[in-house]
């Protein structure tokens, strides 16, 4: 199998894991994380912009996020975007600063967040398995066309399976870490 194919498989599987990491970072835990609101889109200057493009996001305390808005005229838009983001946050403006206190999570909400994390993890696993399936079909086609021998096909298929197993393990580990983080009171 061409080395570029193996590189492509690794890159695509890594992309699935990175997408999961971003999604998990956006899930709210008891602690404030800037990743939680960095994907919030703010209506600014006639278009939608991610929050970090209109202000600096920081977490000065464990239960508080602060957005230092660069343009004073954008403060209300930032406040509205965070409030309407569906994250259950209630920001308050103070000059050019928007404070976002992190409310305490109850047990029911924690369980709900774990379910959302598991769903995201399953989607990442499906993506990795689809990449494996594509690679296996490609190997089968190469063998049919006589480009590789049956032995090479089996050797390369084992490499693809090993890579798949490693990435599924990484996904499981990321989910375990996030679940512990969410359930921690």
Q: State the average pLDDT over residues 141-168.
A: 93
What is the maximum alpha-carbon separation in the chain? 70
Please enumerate in sequence order all residues whose Cβ is within 8 A of that of 148, keeping only pairs 6 or more positions apart, or say none: 1, 139, 142, 156
Q: How far apart (Å, rounded) are the C-alpha atoms in residues 66 and 57?
A: 6
Q: How far apart (Å, rounded) are the C-alpha atoms in residues 95 and 74?
A: 11
Inform me whether the pLDDT recorded for 185 exceeds 80.
Answer: no
Q: Is 104:32 a contact under the CB 8 Å cutoff?
A: no
b/e burial code for range 140-154 (CB count within 10 A of at least 16 → b): eebbeeeebeeeebe
User: Which pLDDT tens digit goes with each residue over 44-61?
Assistant: 888 888 889 999 999 888
User: Which pLDDT tens digit goes with each residue over 109-142?
Assistant: 778 788 888 988 999 999 999 999 999 999 999 9
Domains in the chain: ranges and CATH: 3-25+106-183 (1.10.132.20), 35-101 (3.30.1360.40)
Tell me what pLDDT residue 164 has.
Answer: 95
Tell me what pLDDT residue 135 has.
Answer: 93
Mean pLDDT of the chain: 87
Q: How far apart (Å, rounded) are the C-alpha atoms in residues 14 and 80?
A: 35
Gyration radius (Cα) of the chain, Å: 22
Q: How far apart (Å, rounded) are the C-alpha atoms in residues 11 and 16?
A: 9
Inform me whether the pLDDT recorded for 29 exceeds 90.
Answer: no
Tokens for 106, please give them: 């109850």
List the beta strands (DSSP E) in the chain: 41-44, 47-50, 55-61, 64-69, 92-94, 97-101
Could you tell me the pLDDT band of residue 84, with boundaries at 50, 70 and 90? Answer: confident
């Amino acid at each position: 199998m061409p080395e570029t194919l193996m590189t492509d498989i690794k890159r695509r599987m890594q992309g699935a894991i990175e997408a999961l990491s971003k999604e998990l970072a956006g899930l709210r835990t008891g602690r404030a994380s800037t990743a939680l609101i960095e994907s919030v889109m703010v209506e600014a200057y006639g278009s939608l912009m991610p929050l970090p493009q209109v202000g600096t996001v920081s977490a000065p305390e464990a239960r508080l996020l602060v957005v230092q808005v660069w343009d004073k005229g954008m403060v209300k838009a930032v406040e509205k975007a965070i409030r309407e983001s569906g994250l259950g946050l209630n920001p308050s403006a103070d000059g050019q600063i928007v404070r976002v206190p992190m409310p305490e999570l109850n047990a029911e909400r924690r369980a709900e967040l774990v379910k959302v994390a598991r769903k995201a993890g399953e989607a990442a696993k499906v993506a990795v398995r689809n990449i494996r399936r594509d690679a296996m079909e490609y190997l089968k086609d190469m063998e049919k066309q006589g480009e590789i021998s049956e032995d090479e096909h089996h050797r390369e298929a084992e490499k693809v399976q090993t890579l798949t197993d490693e990435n599924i393990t990484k996904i499981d580990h990321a989910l375990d870490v996030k679940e512990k983080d969410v359930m921690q009171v």
